[in-house]
Chain A
Amino acid sequence: DQQVKQNSPSLSVQEGRISILNCDYTNSMFDYFLWYKKYPAEGPTFLISISSIKDKNEDGRFTVFLNKSAKHLSLHIVPSQPGDSAVYFCAASDLSGNTPLVFGKGTRLSVIA
């Protein structure tokens, strides 16, 4: 049973345009969500997070939106740059800190120059 789903295994976007990566979750106990970026043969790098008390969090070119009623979150990258090409993982947990992160399977983003 996959509690965190990233239904698009890959996404191609032109440089300068917006990249939108989507993530759905099923466990209503999740109240903290994170996005990680991963290059091949490297560990994931933390990008941005959001707790359930917010519906939007912005950090530079990265914005995460949370729709609790739909159990859906998305990561927007604008403008997209070739260096953004990587695999992006959505992860979920609860704010208690007592449960490990649950990861989605990732979406491979390719930004084309």
Chain B
Amino acid sequence: GAVVSQHPSWVICKSGTSVKIECRSLDFQATTMFWYRQFPKQSLMLMATSNEGSKATYEQGVEKDKFLINHASLTLSTLTVTSAHPEDSSFYICSARLRQGGTDTQYFGPGTRLTVL
């Protein structure tokens, strides 16, 4: 099956610093990747759609200047949490879209646990 990796798997940082999370599709090319956030015992919340070679599309309520997304290649998207604060602590998950046989399936990375002190 299609494999998506994320790095790092967990990170602890001080308030005010920036953190970059990488999402890679390992065995397929993905023109579209997605970034989600999950709070404890809640569903996945879509933050933004990352398109290779163009600007990301952010969901309502997500600050684009705070959550910088760069989709530099067909296999890599990065999410940078700028000036992180404790309320940004969460589980961030990316997914990559694979189109096969006329249907799209999203394959998810393992997630990144961010803790901001």
Cα distance A45–B108 when bound, in Å? 7
Stretch of A12-20, A34-42, A59-67, A68-76 contacting B (4+ beta carbons < 8 Å): A34-42
A106 touches B108 (CB 8 A): no
Secondary structure at chain B's binding surface: helix, strand, loop or mixed?
Answer: strand
A43 touches B1 (CB 8 A): no
Cα distance A105–B42 when bound, in Å? 7
Per the CB 8 Å criterion, the residue count for chain A at the interface is: 22
Contacts between the two chains (Cβ within 8 Å), count: 56
Query: Among residues 88 to 113 in chain A, which have CB atoms less than 8 Å away from a CB atom of chain B?
Result: 89, 91, 93, 95, 97, 100-101, 103-106
**B106 close to A (CB within 8 Å):** yes
Cα distance A104–B44 when bound, in Å? 8
Question: How far does the Cβ of A27 sit from chain B's closest Cβ, in whole Å?
Answer: 15
**Of A44, A95, A104, which one neighbours B93 at CB under 8 angstroms?**
A44
